[in-house]
Amino acid sequence: MKLWRKTLPTASAPLSKEPPAPPPVLWHLPPAAPDRPWLHALLFALTLASMTAAGARLQGVDPFASLTHLSEGIPFAATLLAILTVHEFGHYFAARKWAVRASLPYFLPLPLFLGTLGAVIRIRSPIPHKRALMDIGASGPLAGFAIALIVCFIGLPQSTIVRAENFYHGAPIQLGAPLLFSAIAALVLPSISADQMILLSPMAFAGWVGLFITAFNLFPVGQLDGGHIVYALFSRWHGKIARACFAILLAMGLYGILSLVWGWPHGWLGWLLLAFLLTLFGKDHPAPYNSVIPLDPGRRRIGYLCLLIFVLCFTPVPFSTRLAP
């Protein structure tokens, strides 16, 4: 489809197969630097402004020409910012549950394309055990995914089916179709022929970006959300899994370059940026303070659910500007 972290339990006592849930951990740490709410609010406002301008440009208008034109970017900006906010506060409240120090979200404005580089929170104390690691790692993607899913169901029916030939001589943004997005489109839109395309509404595009951000964060490498989840599930194998995924990222990014040079089938060199960031911030994952406490069955199922969501939301070529006639 063409789409436009009091005392921890010790390891001396044997653990049952399903030990009781450990209580929240209280750490004797020096006082942390307080949050600066004004900074978080300022970054939020700047991100909202840059995303609104980006949404207007995606609608084909100049956001600086008039307030009317700028307002056309609000549906995209408000929707995507809601997905990002819910995602980050999922992490924040899970960290607070386990008495792990975490900052408020830092939103990252960018005056290009989508208008943002996303949002992050800072973990300022050790994560106590795998259960807390799973809760903190999985809560963000699951919360953001739920909002993105709802947005896709609302936004796709607002989209327009157009003839593809109208775009052959331009350079529209062609989006990869994750399995889940394709399934939703098949449910809520009429069938389209090979010579037609779906011109996404601003809300549908924000939903697609929400699914992309979910998959991006669930890559099982380093301290991405997926890295937390895979370490909690497969701590002995985490290093091998992370190295294999890093190699796949490099391969996909290099293929993206070659596809541009030699005109091969579509690739995306943006994966090289993720590989570069992982090289800077580390591909490995630190062990939790007490690695003896195992995951309970419920959290293990949550981890597997996150891996399934990764598969359903992933697309190897998320963005492209070439159309085949």
Is the pLDDT confidence value at 321 over 70? Answer: no
For the chain, give the mean pLDDT: 86
Give the model's pLDDT for residue 172: 64
pTM (2 d.p.): 0.85
Give the model's pLDDT for residue 239: 85
* Band of pLDDT at residue 18, cut at 50, 70 and 90: low
Range with lowest mean pLDDT among 44-53, 219-228, 281-290: 281-290
Helix axes 37-58, 202-217, angle to 10 degrees: 130
Helix axes 74-97, 130-155, angle to 10 degrees: 160
Task: Give the tens place of pLDDT for each residue, 54-99.
Answer: 999 988 899 988 888 999 999 999 999 999 999 999 999 999 999 9
Structure tokens at 100: 């792990």
Structure tokens at 296: 């309970």
- CB contact at 8 A, 195 and 164: yes
Size (the chain), residues: 325
Give the model's pLDDT for residue 3: 52
Cα-Cα-Cα-Cα dihedral sign, residues 120, 91, 238, 149: negative
- How far apart CA 237 and CA 229 sit, in angstroms, is 12
Range with lowest mean pLDDT among 65-74, 197-206, 279-288, 302-311: 279-288
Give the model's pLDDT for residue 322: 55
* Band of pLDDT at residue 159, cut at 50, 70 and 90: very high
Which of these, 48, 9, 3, lies nearest to 293 by C-alpha position? 9
Q: What is the DSSP string of 204-265?
A: HHHHHHHHHHHHHHT-SSTTSHHHHHHHHH-TTTHHHHHHHHHHHHHHHHHHHHHHHHH-PS
* Band of pLDDT at residue 14, cut at 50, 70 and 90: very low
- How far apart CA 66 and CA 7 sit, in angstroms, is 59
- CB contact at 8 A, 207 and 151: yes
Structure tokens at 163: 């003839």
Task: Give the tens place of pLDDT for each residue, 174-196.
Answer: 889 899 999 999 999 988 887 88
User: What is the residue type of 161?
Assistant: I
- CB contact at 8 A, 140 and 90: yes
Give the model's pLDDT for residue 155: 96
Percent of the residues in the chain that have a pLDDT greater than 70, as a whole number: 85
Secondary element (H or E) of residue 281:
helix 271-281
